[in-house]
Amino acid sequence: MGATILITGATSGFGRAAARLFGRSGWRLLLAGRRTDRLLELAADLGGVTSVLTIPLDVRDRAAVFDRIERLPADWRDIDVLVNSAGLALGLEPADRADLEDWETMVDTNVKGLLYVTRAVLPGMRARNRGHVVNIGSIAGAWPYPGGNAYGATKAFVAHFSRNLRADLGGTAVRVTNIEPGLAETEFSLVRFHGDAERAAAVYQNTTPLSGEDIAAIIHWVVTRPAHVNVNSLEVMPVCQTWGPLAIHRAS
Q: In what order do the strands lie in the sheet with 52-56?
A: 52-56, 28-33, 4-7, 81-84, 131-136, 174-181, 233-236
Catalytic residue among 116, 145, 151, 204: 151
Question: Strand 52-56 vs strand 81-84: parallel, antiparallel, or unpaired?
Answer: unpaired
CA distance readout (Å), 211 to 16, 32, 182, 187, 238: 11, 21, 10, 11, 9
Instruction: Round to whole Å and give the CA distance between 151 and 108.
Output: 11
**151 in active site:** yes
Task: Supply angle C-alpha 189, 153, 65, rounded to 5.
Answer: 80
Classify the C-alpha dihedral 45-48-49-51 as positive or negative.
positive
Catalytic positions, written as ranges: 151
